């Protein structure tokens, strides 16, 4: 019966009861986050029907061109989460420095870091975008946090999640004990549990990577991709499909449903920026979700959740998905770094390939 469905708010309360007691600050904060996601979903869904937001856009701290919805979504999260007394600070992709809670509001024990509109480059072509968020505890005694107070490894996350604004609006959430998906029911205006205890499928024949950057990849990644493309006749013995949405929320959700691996690896395109995705509010929350669902997340050389950040907007390479695939990629990185020589043939790079080259097969 519809009235017996578990809403997100009810789920959070029941989860805390199972853990031995309520955390009213965390409950209220997550309720504020889901309210923000409802507002953002409505703004995204209206598309060009909405009036132009009354915000100035420009280039954010990442050096990326802001879209009006980036700025609007950021403001929505700030306004929805600043007033409740659960937070003492927030940090966002769209702000160079942490956001201080206004003095007129009480302050609480948590920090919120978020990407207000992941994949916003897809807005103009009407593809799935989303919001990514992570909850951390503020250091003891801190009520007015500085950037250094946010520099915590992903192992310290209290909760992490993301919202999807696609054919349906969803929130995928972990509180540190499994991953659960909630779909927005427009009839009652609530997120309801539709995907309990999500698990990353162990077997997979899909990988996601931006192939246009191939010439900048390290050899371990080139080797992995080449072996997948060789299909049934290659060392993997199976045909793989390649995906690329350019929206992290969409990529991770697909992996939760169908398995696979997502790669935004170290490359040489910009030597000063070997990684592309932001550690605190993109890689860490997604890594926590994937690990809680039975998958793995790595830089290729280190578990993502163990990376200690040294700056607020630090970027890292990210490889996540089905555990066996991530472990294979980590193994290839270890082999490469040890100097062990491995020769492999690749139709991807021979003269009949789309990626034309000359000379003998690549060696690592």
Over residues 267-296, the pLDDT tens digits come to 998 888 879 999 999 999 999 999 999 999
Spatial distance between the Cα atoms of 41 and 184, rounded to a whole number of angstroms: 10
Spatial distance between the Cα atoms of 191 and 8, rounded to a whole number of angstroms: 6
**Residue of 234, 249, 222 whose CA lies nearest to 320:** 249
Give the contacts of 159 (CB within 8 A, at least 6 positions apart): 26, 30, 134, 135, 173, 174, 175, 176
Q: Are residues 222 and 142 in the same domain?
A: no
Q: Per the structure block, which two tokens stand in for 73?
A: 């979504």
Count: domains in the chain: 2
The pLDDT assigned to 65 comes to 67
Confidence check: pLDDT of 56 > 70: no
Q: Sign (positive/negative) of CA torsion 232, 210, 207, 327?
A: positive
> Where among 145, 169, 195 does a domain terminate?
195
pLDDT band at 123; cut points 50, 70, 90: confident
Average pLDDT, the chain: 90
The pLDDT assigned to 364 comes to 36
* Boundaries of domain holding 22: 2-195
The whole model's pTM is what? Answer: 0.90
Q: Are residues 178 and 271 in the same domain?
A: no
Residue of higher predicted confidence among 34 and 58: 34
- 78-102: pLDDT as tens digits: 999 999 999 999 999 999 999 999 9
Q: Among 44-48, 174-178, 188-192, 316-320, name the one with the lowest average pLDDT.
A: 44-48
Give the contacts of 136 (CB within 8 A, at least 6 positions apart): 110, 111, 112, 113, 150, 152, 156, 157, 158
Q: Are residues 7 and 122 in the same domain?
A: yes
Query: Other C-beta atoms within 10 Å of 229: how many?
Result: 20
135-144 mean pLDDT: 96
Q: Per the structure block, which two tokens stand in for 104?
A: 């007129």
Q: Are residues 189 and 81 in the same domain?
A: yes
Spatial distance between the Cα atoms of 32 and 179, rounded to a whole number of angstroms: 20
Q: Does some domain include residue 326?
A: yes
The pLDDT assigned to 122 comes to 87
Confidence check: pLDDT of 26 > 50: yes
The pLDDT assigned to 2 comes to 53
The pLDDT assigned to 204 comes to 85
Spatial distance between the Cα atoms of 120 and 65, rounded to a whole number of angstroms: 10
CATH number at residue 279: 3.40.190.80
Q: Are residues 121 and 211 in the same domain?
A: no
Contact 137, 158 (CB under 8 A): yes
Residue of higher predicted confidence among 194 and 47: 194
């Amino acid at each position: 019966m519809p009235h017996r469905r578990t809403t997100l708010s009810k789920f959070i309360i029941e989860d805390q009861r199972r853990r031995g007691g309520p955390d009213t600050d965390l409950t209220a904060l997550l309720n504020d986050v889901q309210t923000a996601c409802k507002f953002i979903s409505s703004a995204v869904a209206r598309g060009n029907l909405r009036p132009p937001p009354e915000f100035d856009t420009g280039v954010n701290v990442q050096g990326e061109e802001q879209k009006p919805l980036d700025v609007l979504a950021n403001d929505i999260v700030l306004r929805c989460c600043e007033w409740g007394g659960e937070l003492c600070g927030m940090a966002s992709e769209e702000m160079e420095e942490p956001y201080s809670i206004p003095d007129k509001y009480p302050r609480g024990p948590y920090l919120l870091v978020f990407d207000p509109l992941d994949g916003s480059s897809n807005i103009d072509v009407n593809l799935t975008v989303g919001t990514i968020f992570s909850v951390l505890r503020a250091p003891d005694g801190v009520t007015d946090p500085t950037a250094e107070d946010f520099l915590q490894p992903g192992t310290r996350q209290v909760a992490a999640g993301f919202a999807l604004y696609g054919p349906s609006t969803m929130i995928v959430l972990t509180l540190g004990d499994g991953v659960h998906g909630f779909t927005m029911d427009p009839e009652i205006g609530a997120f309801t549990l539709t995907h309990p205890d999500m698990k990353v499928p162990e077997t997979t024949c899909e990988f996601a990577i931006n192939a246009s950057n191939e010439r900048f990849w390290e050899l371990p990644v080139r080797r992995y991709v080449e072996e997948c493309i060789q299909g049934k006749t290659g060392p993997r013995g199976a045909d793989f499909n390649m995906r690329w949405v350019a929206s992290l929320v969409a990529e991770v959700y697909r992996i939760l449903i169908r398995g696979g691996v997502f790669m935004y690896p170290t490359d040489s395109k910009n030597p000063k920026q070997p990684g592309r995705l932001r550690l605190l509010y993109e890689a860490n929350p997604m890594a926590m979700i994937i690990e809680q669902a039975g998958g793995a997340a790595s830089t290729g050389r280190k578990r993502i959740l163990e990376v200690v950040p040294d700056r607020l907007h630090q970027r890292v390479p990210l490889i996540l998905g089905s555990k066996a695939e991530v472990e294979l990629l980590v193994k290839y990185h270890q082999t490469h770094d040890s100097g062990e020589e491995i020769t492999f043939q690749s139709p991807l790079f021979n003269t009949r390939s789309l990626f034309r080259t000359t000379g003998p097969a690549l060696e690592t």
